[in-house]
């Protein structure tokens, strides 16, 4: 059996430094905001797994069913020798892709990327045991700014699933897609999953479930600040807000202070005032229209080869090729 190797470009100290910078910038801004990547400590990851199983949360199961249906077409079209997965996590959905690409013949290497060394090592070892003969080379990094650390060589396809592209504002998306373009060689491919614009009556409950799991997940970012930066947030004094911004076509998650309070972030020597009713943005989840996203890909230098959608037109998989 081929064992998995791990290449580490991001340490716990690097993550703490990035959190310090994001927290200082976001908590002193008007309006306040925090990036969604800080939801995901061990507890945040557990809560998100629970969210994916909620009846209201359609994106994960919709993408999974779509991938199951079209994975053979993806594999035949891509003919990838190397599969690179950004934000691999447990690599659960990837097994569908790996099996299909393996059946097509040319697949030689799987490169999962994630920020968590622990999660990545576990996923990489599991894949290596399930696919004997497949080289597994994990990369611990932040996909938003370390794309250049991804290994080169072989015909590659980069997969970015889960609709995570929607967490980036338009400027960040343009930079990210341009970065992927620069990493790939002409003729190599990008497979990207994106949520589509649908009825807000279905969309909003996916981010504001009846059981309150998403509310716990949203508040978890405050617990991360408490644990990693020695802050004294009382998460229960913040209400979970999820709303649809029809103009920007994205879901926005916020935390609303239920009373006036003063919060101290000791490691930053920072005191933060919250007015009663003040809201802090913690995530956006943009939804897309097919033509609009194809245009974004085109602007970044990709030619869209194929688009697959589920029967309810809630989610899409785009397979695009670097054009030049």
* Half-sphere CA count of 227, side-chain side, radius 13 A: 13
d(C-alpha 268, C-alpha 255), whole Å: 21
| Residues whose CB is less than 8 angstroms from the CB of residue 161 and which lie 6 or more positions away in sequence, other chains included | 63, 67, 85, 87, 93, 94, 191, 192, 193
87 labeled part of a ligand binding site = yes
* Sequence-ordered strand ranges (E) for 196-278: 238-245, 250-257, 261-265, 270-274
285 labeled part of a ligand binding site = yes
207 labeled part of a ligand binding site = yes
131 labeled part of a ligand binding site = no
102 labeled part of a ligand binding site = no
d(C-alpha 290, C-alpha 287), whole Å: 10
283 labeled part of a ligand binding site = yes
167 labeled part of a ligand binding site = yes
d(C-alpha 239, C-alpha 230), whole Å: 22
138 labeled part of a ligand binding site = no
For the chain, give the number of residues. Answer: 324
In this structure, the number of other CB atoms found within 10 A of the CB of residue 102 comes to 17
The torsion of the CA quartet 206, 208, 213, 219, rounded to 10 degrees, works out to 130
Region of 105 on the Ramachandran plot (φ > 0 left; ψ -120 to 50 alpha; else beta): left
293 labeled part of a ligand binding site = no
β-pair type (238-245, 109-114): unpaired
CA-based diameter of the chain, in Å? 61
> How many H-runs (helices) and E-runs (strands) does the chain carry?
9, 13
Residues making up the binding site for L-histidine: 57, 167, 207, 283-285
Residues making up the binding site: 57, 87, 93, 114, 142-143, 167, 207, 283-285
Residues making up the binding site for S-adenosyl-L-methionine: 87, 93, 114, 142-143
């Amino acid at each position: 059996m081929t064992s998995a190797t791990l290449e580490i470009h991001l340490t716990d100290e690097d993550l703490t430094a990035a959190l310090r910078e994001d927290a200082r910038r976001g908590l002193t801004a008007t309006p306040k905001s925090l990036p969604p990547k800080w939801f995901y400590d061990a507890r945040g990851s557990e809560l998100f797994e629970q969210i994916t199983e909620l009846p209201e949360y359609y994106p994960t199961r919709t993408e999974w069913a779509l991938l199951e249906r079209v994975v053979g077409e993806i594999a035949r079209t891509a003919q990838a020798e190397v599969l690179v997965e950004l934000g691999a996590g447990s690599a659960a959905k990837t097994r569908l892709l790996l099996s299909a690409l393996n059946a097509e013949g040319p697949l030689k290497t799987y490169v999962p990327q994630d920020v968590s060394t622990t999660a990545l090592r576990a996923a990489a070892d599991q894949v290596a045991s399930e696919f004997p003969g497949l080289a597994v080379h994990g990369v611990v990094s932040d996909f938003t700014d370390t794309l250049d650390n991804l290994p080169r060589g072989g015909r590659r396809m980069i997969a970015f699933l889960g609709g995570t592209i929607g967490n980036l504002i338009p400027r960040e998306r343009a930079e990210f897609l341009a970065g992927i373009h620069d990493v790939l060689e002409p003729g190599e491919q990008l497979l990207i999953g994106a949520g589509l614009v649908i009825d807000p009556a279905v969309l909003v409950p996916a981010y504001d479930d009846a059981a309150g799991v998403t509310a716990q997940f949203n508040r978890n970012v405050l617990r991360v600040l408490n644990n990693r930066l020695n802050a004294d947030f009382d998460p229960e004094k913040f209400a979970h807000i999820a709303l649809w911004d029809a103009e920007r076509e994205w879901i926005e998650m916020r935390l609303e202070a239920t009373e006036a309070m003063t919060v101290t972030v000791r490691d930053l020597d920072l005191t933060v005032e919250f007015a009663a009713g003040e809201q802090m943005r913690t995530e956006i989840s943009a939804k897309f229209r097919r033509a609009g996203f194809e245009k974004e890909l085109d602007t970044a230098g990709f030619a869209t080869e194929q688009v697959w959608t589920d029967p309810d037109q809630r989610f899409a998989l785009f397979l695009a090729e670097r054009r030049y």
